[in-house]
Chains A and B, each alone.
Chain A
Amino acid sequence: MPGQHGMTERTPLWEVFVRARRGLSHTHVGSLHAPDAELALRNARDLYTRRQEGVSIWVVPASAITASSPDEKDAFFDPAADKVYRHPTFYEVPDGVAHL
């Protein structure tokens, strides 16, 4: 009987990104287990878009994602703030530019 032995061998982990109905980009909404990409998509539809909040789903094997290391946070995200020329703040954004 399934479910009686506690630990079964888990299928691979997938990360799920959903683009909302009126959204512009895909947003990470969570993860799930599935044996392959096709079933991962179906499972994502059941788990994350039951209220029709999404129009497009991406699934990616969790093993394919490379994340930045928390230890390198300073070097990565805090460049020297005194070098103002590093920051794109010296021009006006024209009116009518969408989605910036």
Chain B
Amino acid sequence: MFDFALALGDDALIAAQRLGEWTSRAPEMEEDIALANIALDQLGAARLLLTYAGELEGAGRDEDALAYLRGDREFRNCLLVELPNGDFAVTMAKLFFLAAYQLPLYTALSGCADERLAAIGAKARKESAYHLDHGSLWVKRLGDGTDESHRRMQDAVDQVWPYTHELFTADPAAPVDPATLRADFDAVVSAVLDEATLTRPADGWAPGGGRAGVHTEHLSYLLAEMQVLHRAHPGAKW
């Protein structure tokens, strides 16, 4: 249960950190605000999940200790969220795939036996629905847009696709077995890719290891930036 809450919390935390990098750099002011909103939604879910994970662990670690005082080998997030932002299309592909996984996950979680996880799932589900909507809209617009936007969106989908398989690794002991979410994910993704005139990539290479703490080279750089203040000034308060 601790591992499960930690993994979901880490997914949301790292996704929030990546989305936050767009702040003041998005193509338009309106999109800048939308991405910041989504980042803050993810951060809110991360805080709830990490706080609960800390309580389950019972070792006195609060949300800040878990966020700021772990090395990359101790993080349990999926590789998808730690990938660099790339261009706008890559960011949208990542957001779309993440939301298409988080929405059925949180929905299933909202009906699970653990009261705290059910409450977190019920709250996060509404936000995920909006994230999915936002990601889908842009995937469709870029895919079915100009030749250049279509090319970039297809490249982005091809680039990110291998990292989606890790999300659905079976875990029968978890409150929600990720393997049960695959059909829902596939249905949503196929419909959007079709409408976007994009080709669903073939399944092949399926990198994994994030859930076991084995990450890409990108995570330690992200953590160095995210944790520098807290490590330099432990317990600093604004």
Which residues of A line the B interface, CB within 8 A?
1-3, 8, 10-11, 32-36, 38-39, 42-43, 46-47, 50
Contacts and interface: CB of A to CB of B under 8 A. Distances in A.
Given A33-B30, A50-B37, 10 more contacts: A1-B25, A2-B27, A11-B28, A34-B30, A35-B141, A39-B137, A42-B34, A42-B134, A42-B137, A43-B33
Interface string B9-44: 000000000000000111111110110010000000
B24 A43 contact: no
B88 interface: yes
26 contacts: A2-B25, A2-B26, A3-B24, A3-B25, A3-B26, A3-B27, A11-B28, A32-B30, A33-B29, A33-B30, A34-B30, A36-B141, A38-B137, A39-B30, A39-B137, A39-B141, A42-B34, A42-B134, A42-B137, A43-B31, A46-B30, A46-B33, A46-B34, A46-B37, A47-B30, A47-B33
Contacts of B37: 46, 50
Contacts of A10: 28
Most chain B CB within a 10 A radius of its CB, from A1, A8, A38, A42: A42
B64 interface: no
Contact of A2 (B30, B88, B133, B134): B88
B26 to A, nearest CB: 7
Contacts of A43: 30-31, 33-34
Nearest to B87: A2
Interface residues of B, number: 16
B133 A8 contact: no
A74 B134 CA distance: 47
Contacts of A42: 34, 133-134, 137
A1 B137 CA distance: 22
Contacts of A2: 25-27, 88
A1 B29 CA distance: 15
Nearest to A32: B30
B160 to A, nearest CB: 19
Interface in B32-87: 33-34, 37
Interface in B127-174: 133-134, 137, 141
Contacts of B30: 32-34, 39, 43, 46-47
Contacts of B31: 43
Contacts of B134: 42
Nearest to A40: B30
A33 B28 contact: yes
Most chain B CB within a 10 A radius of its CB, from A35, A36, A38: A35
